[in-house]
Amino acid sequence: MTEQTGTQTINGVDVSKLKETIQAVKETPSLADFRFRIVNKWQGGGLNQTTVKASYGAGQEFPERDGKFTMQADEPPILLSGDKAANPVEHLLHALAACVTTTMVYHAAARGIPLEAVESSLEGGLDLRGFLNLDPNVRKGFKNITVNVRVTGNLSEEQKQEVVKLGSQFSPVYDMVTNSVPVTVKLSSS
């Protein structure tokens, strides 16, 4: 038995730290409790802006992230706004693509599989009659989402398929979009 020393980085992920994290969470499951927070402000018409707030995880608050990132959303003219940013459903596709990619990259790293490039194309189709309340049988959101992933690296077709499978198997956003999440909406007293 040899003991590994130093750090090992695969796919830009420090695998030694990743394994330490897994070990720490195994020993102290409460470290796995993470909370992510944002605030969003309406800016008129279809435009609004999100600010990322402090997050919590591994038993600590991260106040240095409070206000660090802002993201806008808007709607194109065909949906009656000024097209100053991607719209909310495009942001959902971004969240999904980003999460599936990061999940493939991290889980491949943990298995010692180096990747050269990952690129994905997503499309979601929706019937606006849902949002417009013209037909109660038409859903408001996407009817379906297709994700085409291209993985580049010194890998067999089978290994590429395995990497893609890791994405849908362990991605938090993929889990939420395909399995649903309970959402509680409340009016704050001002």
| Cα(155)–Cα(118) distance, integer angstroms | 13
Closest distance to a second copy from the beta carbon of 32 (Å): 4
**Selected binder of a second copy within 61, 67, 114, 146 (CB under 8 A):** 146
* Contacts of 41 by beta carbon, 8 Å cutoff, 6+ apart: 48, 49, 51
Closest distance to a second copy from the beta carbon of 6 (Å): 16
# chain residues binding a second copy, by CB under 8 A: 130
Q: Cα separations (Å) of 111 from 32, 124, 150, 154?
A: 21, 31, 19, 15
**Selected binder of a second copy within 3, 18, 112, 114 (CB under 8 A):** 18
Does residue number 111 form part of the binding site for a second copy (CB under 8 A)?
A: no
Does residue number 137 form part of the binding site for a second copy (CB under 8 A)?
A: no
* Contacts of 33 by beta carbon, 8 Å cutoff, 6+ apart: 56, 57, 59
The phi and psi torsions of 7 (rounded to 5 degrees) equal -110, 155
Q: Which is nearer to a second copy, 1 or 117 (CB)?
A: 117
Does residue number 102 form part of the binding site for a second copy (CB under 8 A)?
A: yes
Does residue number 126 form part of the binding site for a second copy (CB under 8 A)?
A: yes
**Selected binder of a second copy within 28, 66, 67, 121 (CB under 8 A):** 121
- Least Cα distance to 49 among 67, 83, 72, 75 occurs for 72
Does residue number 154 form part of the binding site for a second copy (CB under 8 A)?
A: no
